[in-house]
Structure 1
């Protein structure tokens, strides 16, 4: 069973095939197509093609039929023909076309198509694609996590999927044949039902039996999730009326979401005769009910949504998780574990059909979803992951139709020492002024580089100064940031800085040049509080050193700055003595700056001007108050290349 059938056949089996036959039939090919009899539909459509009676919609159905029967060469050619006509194809068909290219030798055609269509895809989709491609390439040569994956002995020759924890039991969905089952002949299965089994210490299951804590129905019941806080089961079921299937005015039946309190009441939460709902997941922490649905205004085939609830009672309209999670493909099976959002998607840049992804939940949003990599994911369909802490590690389950299974889809268990997923590094924080954290810096470029200088990732701080960068794991990285007329920030991080965590909250300080300089005496100088040497002294006091440390920081922030140290004194004392005194003071200042990290090449001059530049009338022989004499005692750090510093 392929990935598209996983969304509909896995949940609806061939129910929609029977349902659609109540609607309008255009041809034998259409009838077969809507009953998921894809090979027979191909034969019928190809006959119509030769007769010249195939419509564009039927040509698209033919492309989908090729895709569903794994004839990817013909699927890619047919999709491409339709694309050239610029007609019926939408996002989810583009996804199928790209998947077809990936499964053939047409990588160049796929790349060419992506370059042509990249402007039509969302920014988030392109970022997700580039990141995952880089991540999978970087991890190809690295050893995978030590997965202990096992096919459950209780799997049947039919479809088994959608595992869920229930107290000390495991629930799952199955189409296994029962003696008194309501047989669904087109799929050679019973209508889906929910089963329970005891979980053994090794993760295996035993004592499989139909789950009896939910309301009886002879049609589909599937994809359970147990909320311990609400003591309720959320699950999907066929829309019925008076015990029989109910249809919309187009002859379509769909799936609803229900909540069954254990030992209590039953409630239908989400129902629309034209919309199918899949894979409910209730988040105890937020009260949100997540699910998948095929609303027409989604991003692709099936998207993930949530509604706000009050103890499970729906209190809002469905809210789409947005383009960071949802794609032109199909997204299903949401699951939250320790701050990470897991789901399955058949987007074209995965390892095969449907892959499981993980996204970190941060500040009300989602990080780039990353492929869990080989082990959990295979070249086939992998979906419906759940896990919990067990002993010193993790116990989890998922469904897959990978080679070697017992049926159409099987439930697999796994044991693992740490959370699954390819390892990444995340930097996030706020870009702000270091001397005033209340002043944020927006539109600052933030980069991660390798120690050799290769660019690994780049972003810009948003209107609130926030930034976030995530890259495949590196042992060493350099974080850099700058903005025009702002300082340059650079800091190296090693593996030791990430010990025990893969995320670094790190605020970046960028200084605005104009905040650190001012104009004095017709020159641009580093902004300092005025300081004084002792009478006839050249020694630096702690107060002077505090101000000179600001110069050290200024040069670190603007390493291209060229400085001149100027020192002046008052008219008291001999002229030659004053010249020597101020020169010694300028030299002492330069010496301190160099000793504390300012390159000597940045301090072009240190000059003592003696009493040559008196600022007031306190010249030789004029009586002045001490405060007026002190106006002439000063040191300036002049920025010589101010006019070209940012050219």
Structure 2
């Protein structure tokens, strides 16, 4: 400790003149920040920090400059530095912005930890709805009680689930009954394999006749989750990957689930075929049919999904099926979505542990539009859902009765089937409106033509408008969601307010945004000869080795260039493309020319910019930005610095 103290003192004495130099840079940065010239402020602050100097004020303003320009990754970085170095001095405002920035870059766990601290300090602040909303939502769905749930008398001491309507009968999966296949067990839990059974009397009263589903559906492996066409002559069901006596496994030795279709023949047996979109390497399971029988829904962990399992659909064609299509972000999460069912009134019911719920798998519902794409997802609440797994729900939309399975306490076996009756209408349509005004914070006069953005809870823009002559703006909102509304205008500060819509239909929320006028807001015109990449603080427009296609990260940066060209309709630019030194000089020249043309074409064709305003050329390896010339050994990421495009202003 003494040695460390002496080192610190020695460096302090040697660095006195350096500190004075850094103070000058800080003053420059502060001036730019006060003028809302955030890019210039960033450059000044970063130079100070690169020289080893920082303070709470510098880190706050640097992080804010990124936050208000929607660069949330950099904002999270510098709010994080503020938190690490000056946590005790960090106000709740910066805790909140830090948490929001973390959410925007999908660092949810850390965001929740920071929001906990914000909530502890500002429990009465209206912005705590972002954090408290989930808790309030959980309280609400725990009290919904839209249904009356009853036990049925046909459960076994093992697993019974996946009820399905079959004409006037009920089919379900079970492994708790003796059957013709005997009591073979599988390795997972040493329980018997599942088979499909049929109840000839599906009402809750009277003696039940339970038999194995006939027609050679069941095998010595698992069968479960069936759905039937209205005519009853076609069945879709889940089975282990066991086709024509062959038991197949994936690359890791796991036998996956597959979907099969059976068409009933005159002798009562089912003619079974495997569906063509199955795969030995992943599972496809739990079928559901649309009311018209033309669309098949299912769950799968196929590559490209969002989570453990996602919901998909295919069109049932005269010959075969369409390609599987994900139901999208409205339904699928990073966790499990499974056991779909579509009711006669075209509502999709499914189970998930990725949407906000009471615990484990909960049952959710959403309306489907004419194209079977999703709208808003709603939790069915208690008593359908519990704090354990609740799944495989089916419902008769005419009378609101149905069945589902759960492994909640109080059942007879591992999974049990329950019946239910709907007590109240299932109203799931809900919309609200945000009405606001943008005013000057001193004069209180309305500000016209201010840009107003509606952002979701991850700071992604949902909608954009401008204020009217009276400063007014409005947005349509979904219920039970968190939002931010942000306003900007040249010469003014950026102002942001947060809000959360409730579950009540057709109400209005109000917000007032007060913008602060800047002190010195003379904006220097962009000079001829300037590089827009530097002025806009663009990430480099990189290309992959030997390629000239526009990468996704490059497209994002090109959109910023397009925005400037639209803002300045007389501006013209020259696109200059460069390669690294690898490969022949002549080849690199051709490659860079192709990259320049690809960049120009993107700006013109995608951005809608007149071609007369964009010129360009390729310069090959003639203008390297580092030492990696011919024959010099460099890492790929160092070479990548030379694979770039510049955007030189040639007229303004």
TM-score tier (shorter): 0.3 to 0.5
More strand by share: 1
Bigger Rg, which one: 1
TM-score by length of 1: 0.46
